[in-house]
Amino acid sequence: MTTFVDLSHPIADGAAAYPGLPAARFFPLLEREASRERYDGKAEFLLGGFEIAGNTGTYLDSPFHRYADGMDLAAIPLTSCVGLPGVIVETDADDRRLSVGDLVDGELAGRAVLFRTGWNARWGTEAYWRGSPFLGAELVERLVDAGAALVGIDAGNVDDTGDSARPAHTGLLAAGIPIVENLTNLAALPAEGFVFSAAPPPFVGGAAFPVRAFAEVP
């Protein structure tokens, strides 16, 4: 029997996005009561609209997020974000710079490599966005060389936000490796032996967008 583990933060009306971006806004395009006339009083529906920054909740960064000639959300193959064998990298959130030494021995090629720092416990607070763990340059190089299919983290950024060069985004996305940030509930997963999925909508010209990230654990 397979257990499905949700790894995404819920997004509600007014939910905060990445600092500096507008909060999510949900609004009705057609209210239920107003819809009844359209359906001869036999049914009612709510048609809703959304204004949401791509970097809201748990989201996936495409190469186009960093590179003008990189793959956008519509171009990312499902084989890069769905049905991936996953591996958890256990880290110490008190050591901000995650290093090659954090990696477990074993094959990383074609796998979703998810960094479990525990930082998600701060979600919803200002502290979440300050001083979070990040991937060091040597670690990024190792992930690229190893052929990782996707990299995820339960913190707000794979990069040190004090470094304007954004080396983790630069290296991973140059290699065509999608990034999923703001994961949660990674503590519910085993170190390996699970399958990870996080597909974004196929927006042409889309750089980043929320995903319903989840794991299948046998």
Alpha-carbon distance 65 to 87, whole Å? Answer: 25
| Rounded-to-10 torsion of CA 57, 66, 201, 142 | -80
Instruction: Pick the more confident residue, 123 or 95.
Output: 123
In a domain, 210, yes or no: yes
**Average pLDDT over the chain, rounded to whole?**
96
Q: Is the pLDDT of residue 93 over 60?
A: no
In a domain, 40, yes or no: no
| 3-state class (DSSP) for residue 33 | helix
In a domain, 73, yes or no: yes
In a domain, 160, yes or no: yes
In a domain, 138, yes or no: yes
pLDDT digits (tens, 9 = 90+) for 34-55: 999 999 999 999 999 999 999 9
Alpha helices in the chain (DSSP H): 32-35, 137-146, 167-174
Alpha-carbon distance 155 to 91, whole Å? Answer: 12
- The number of distinct structural domains making up the chain is 1
Residue 129, by phi and psi: left (phi above 0), alpha (psi -120 to 50) or beta?
A: alpha
Query: Of 135, 137, 122, whose CA–CA distance to 182 is shortest?
Result: 122
In a domain, 88, yes or no: yes
Percent of the chain past pLDDT 70, that is, above it, reads 98
Domain holding 88, by residue range, is 3-9+54-217
Beta-strand ranges (E) seen in 8-161 are: 25-30, 47-51, 59-61, 84-90, 97-98, 112-116, 134-135, 150-153
pLDDT band at 100 (very low <50, low <70, confident <90, very high): confident
Tokens in use for 203? 């927006």
Residue 173, by phi and psi: left (phi above 0), alpha (psi -120 to 50) or beta?
A: alpha
Average pLDDT over residues 75-100: 91
What's the confidence (pLDDT) of residue 79? 98
pLDDT band at 218 (very low <50, low <70, confident <90, very high): very high
In a domain, 145, yes or no: yes
What's the confidence (pLDDT) of residue 95? 75
Q: Report the CATH number that the domain containing residue 92 is assigned in CATH.
A: 3.50.30.50
In a domain, 22, yes or no: no
pLDDT digits (tens, 9 = 90+) for 179-214: 999 999 999 999 999 999 999 999 999 999 999 999
